[in-house]
Amino acid sequence: MVGLAYCDSLYSCVKILTWGIEVHVVSGEKLVYAVAGNRERGAEPVTEVYQVTLDSPMGLRTGTLRLIFSGGQVEGTLTLLGFDNPVTGLRMGEDRVRLFHQLRSLMTELTCRSDLELTGGKLTGVADTDWGLMAWTGLRTETL
């Protein structure tokens, strides 16, 4: 389930656990994305690790994306530019995920929504950021 709502506070992230449903709320540009998913008891999370490249205005930036899939939810860590950025999101079908995260550097912090396709061990997609769109590419290096 995905919902949109108006929010006065910018760039906040809240995680709520209620009645066995985890709800992630990520706001940016006065929009709030609420993602709810049922956590099935006994279902083992699956972790996938990708070596990723972001085609940014400052050139190609390489890093690591660790995703933990649990039911329809995704969480993990994007390590890029020397920073570990928490990510949260949801599956948007068999091979697609939508992630909400920050991109930190020494000079700035961007709020992002990344739409990714994960097929055959390859990652492709787009990060929608404060600076515009940036392309993602990558390869899966591990499945745990």
Sorted by where each begins, the domain ranges of the chain are: 2-38, 46-143
* CATH number listed for the domain at residues 46-143: 2.40.128.120
Write out the chain's pLDDT in tens, 144 residues.
333 333 333 344 444 333 334 444 554 443 334 444 444 445 689 999 999 999 998 899 999 999 999 989 999 999 999 999 999 999 998 899 999 999 998 888 999 999 999 999 999 999 999 889 999 999 999 998
CA angle (132 as vertex; 128, 138 as ends), nearest 5: 55
CA distance 61 to 70: 28
| Cα dihedral sign, 31-54-108-59 | negative
The amino acid sitting at 61 is R
Going by C-alpha positions, the residue among 90, 143, 82, 85 that lies closest to residue 116 is 90
